Amino acid sequence: MKLLLLLLSLGLGLACAQGDSGEAPVQPDFQSEKALGPPVGPSLQVAPVLQVEGPWHTLELGATDRSTIEEGGAYRCFLTSIRNLANRNLHVTYFQKNNDGKCVEDFFIGEETDTPGRYTFEYKGKNVLTFVAVGEDYVIMDYENIDLGLVVVELLARPPSLSPPGREAFRKYLSRRGIGPDAVEDLTVQARCP
């Protein structure tokens, strides 16, 4: 009986370790707008701060429910730009295919939270958007729909790049969120919007 309990507790521990059900981690030192950081060292050089504003391409989508990112899925989108608003919210523009298969431009407003790099917006319920990793030419974003219990992770690259160094970080983060390779859509090999 003790052996059975030990095996059961070990199995539950491994199952919990497989996926991260907590909040997504935020990119350290996140800044949405292009800015210059404080002087660095005695030479007074200025270090650039990571930023997300500007044009982007969606390369890959991963989700805890694959059907939401497959053709016709509610979260299958092609993000094209992120713009900062005067009130520190984000205007995120993307394309989605409608029922006729035509690409339609849409947007959402990400409302700033108390945590830099984390925003909320309404789409099929309350969503929390977190910038998990930001590089010069790639971004990994985590969308968590609180009402649906759904997590979608998106890998973006600066145009025209279709192969940023963020692919390995994207794969590791998907694993952390419990999203396997079978729940990923590579949008670089499919018909794109726009």
Express each pLDDT in 19-57 by its tens digit. 444 689 988 878 766 544 444 444 434 333 358 999 999
In this structure, the strands spanning 57-63 and 150-157 are: antiparallel
Could you give all domains of the chain from N- to C-terminal order, each with its CATH number? 53-189 (2.40.128.20)
Query: Amino acid identity, residue 133?
Result: A
- Pair 88, 112: CB distance under 8 Å: yes
Question: Model confidence over 105-158: pLDDT tens digits?
Answer: 999 999 999 999 999 999 999 999 999 999 888 999 999 999 999 999 999 999
> Are the beta carbons of 73 and 48 closer than 8 angstroms?
no
- Matching residue, tokens 């997504």: 24
User: Does 11 score more than 70 pLDDT?
Assistant: no
- State pLDDT tens for residues 52-98: 999 999 999 999 999 999 999 999 999 999 999 999 999 999 999 98
57: amino acid identity, one letter: H
Alpha-carbon distance of 40 to 43, in angstroms, equals 7
pTM for the model stands at 0.79
Distance CA 34, CA 46 (A): 13
For the chain, give me the number of helices (H) and strands (E)?
2, 12
Dist CA 177 CA 90 (whole Å): 24
Dihedral sign for Cα atoms in the order 40, 44, 50, 56: negative
